Amino acid sequence: MKPFFCLCSLLLTFAVPLPIWAQVIITPHESYVSIDINGAPFTTLYKGEEAHKPFLFPLRTASGKRVTRGYPVEPAAGDPTDHPHQRGLWVGAERLTASGIGPIDFWENDPTYKRPHMGVVKFKEITAHESGSSKGVLTFSADWISPGGDPVVTETRSLTFYSEAKDCRMFDIDLRLRADRDITFEDNDDTVIGIRLSPSFDQNKGGRPVNAQGLEGEANVRGRRSEWIDWQAIVDGEEVGVTLMEHPANFSAPTRWHVRSIGLMIANPFGQHDYLPEAPVATNTLRAGQELHLRYCVLIHPKSTDVSQTFKEFAAR
């Protein structure tokens, strides 16, 4: 019996240590998925049934400071209470038409709104999740449902979280949107991925959005094409930046950006006339069964980080 006991002890030793040594821990729960990095909470994926969309909230620095607005999920003192649909990081489109249906709003669709044509991005299932020492991966599917209950888009979103660099937090977003029927993304500023930052990032409080070309401020970066925007601020005494990057292989790269001084940034491959009235209206159609593949990266970093180098590494992935 002794050798058998020793073998069982050895197997148990190697069977259970993942949460101890793994640096990215992904833990599914009934209504959310928690993501811990290097022994500390980083963010939570809320399945978002009550919010009409899945969303990541909050996003934190490596030191644990929150960089996303708390309202309306966990309101904090001083939080502005505008636009409750802007929860952490989310995906959607404000004006999407489908064959026989439309327009549908998958963006400003908070359940507190009394607006027509609001659709729902309904979390469907987790299709894969894996923790690991250098990275962890979470993949899920969601259905974009019209007000009449018709599925118009099947979304597959894969999130890859990294444990390095230790003083940063970084994750990739691989987004696949498959048309369930003929659909058109209309020329509108609120599409396709957005982040609402905490009040510290407000330009009136010293925050500043800077694009890859070195332009600063809402007036100079909104509507312009750029590979990334790095929004810089001082959060509880710490100089940090939150960067949203677009992969150069994306449709219409480099993307245009919808930016508001309150700490809102949106990477939008579909907007044109909505930003530049002199430009022609741009519409983008997917036939039933066609798929749009988009990739982004989020980097939360100390001010001294070389964002351009991180972008080069992301572009090569």
AA letter at 233: A
What SS3 string covers the chain? CHHHHHHHHHHHHHHCCHHHHCCEEEEECCCEEEEEECCEEEEEEECCCCCCCCEEECCECCCCCECECCCCCCCCCCCCCCCCCCCCEEEEECCEEECCEEEEECCCCCCCCCCCCECEEEEEEEEEEECECCEEEEEEEEEEECCCCCEEEEEEEEEEEECCCCCCEEEEEEEEEEECCCEEECCCCCEEEEEEECHHHCHHHCCEEEECCCCECHHHHCCCECCEEEEEEEECCEEEEEEEEECCCCCCCCCEEEEECCCEEEEECCCCCCCCCCCCCCCEEECCCCEEEEEEEEEEEECCCCHHHHHHHHHCC
Q: What is the pLDDT of residues 132-187, one digit of tens each?
A: 999 999 999 999 999 999 999 999 999 999 999 999 999 999 999 999 999 999 99
Q: What is the pLDDT of residues 203-224, one digit of tens each?
A: 999 999 999 999 999 999 999 9
12-26, 113-127, 241-255: least confidently modelled range: 12-26
> 28 pLDDT exceeds 70?
yes
User: What rounded mean pLDDT belongs to the chain?
Assistant: 93
Q: What is the pLDDT of residues 262-284, one digit of tens each?
A: 999 999 999 998 898 988 898 89
Question: pLDDT band at residue 7, thresholds of 50, 70 and 90?
Answer: very low
What is the pLDDT averaged over residues 23-33? 98
Q: What are phi and psi of 200, to 5 degrees?
A: -60, -25
> 45 pLDDT exceeds 60?
yes
Q: What are phi and psi of 54, to 5 degrees?
A: -75, 150
Alpha carbon 202 to chain centroid distance?
19
Percent of the chain with pLDDT over 90: 89
d(CA 158, CA 218): 30
> 233 pLDDT exceeds 90?
yes
Q: Which CATH architecture has domain 24-315?
A: Distorted Sandwich (2.70)
> 19 pLDDT exceeds 90?
no
Residue 157: what pLDDT? Answer: 98
Contact yes or no for 210/230 (Cβ under 8 A): yes
What is the pLDDT averaged over residues 231-257? 97
Locate the domains of the chain by residue range. 24-315
d(CA 204, CA 281): 32
Q: Is 38 left (phi over 0), alpha (psi -120 to 50) or beta?
A: left
Question: pLDDT band at residue 102, thresholds of 50, 70 and 90?
Answer: confident
Residue 283: what pLDDT? Answer: 86
What is the pLDDT averaged over residues 96-117? 94
What is the pLDDT averaged over residues 46-53? 97
Residue 310: what pLDDT? Answer: 98
Is 258 buried (19+), middle (13-18) or exposed (0-12) by CB count in 10 A? Answer: buried
Question: pLDDT band at residue 6, thresholds of 50, 70 and 90?
Answer: very low
d(CA 299, CA 242): 6
> 83 pLDDT exceeds 70?
yes
Contact yes or no for 94/83 (Cβ under 8 A): no
Tokens for 255? 């993307």
What is the pLDDT averaged over residues 238-243? 98
Q: What are phi and psi of 64, to 5 degrees?
A: 100, 5
Radius of gyration of the chain (CA): 20
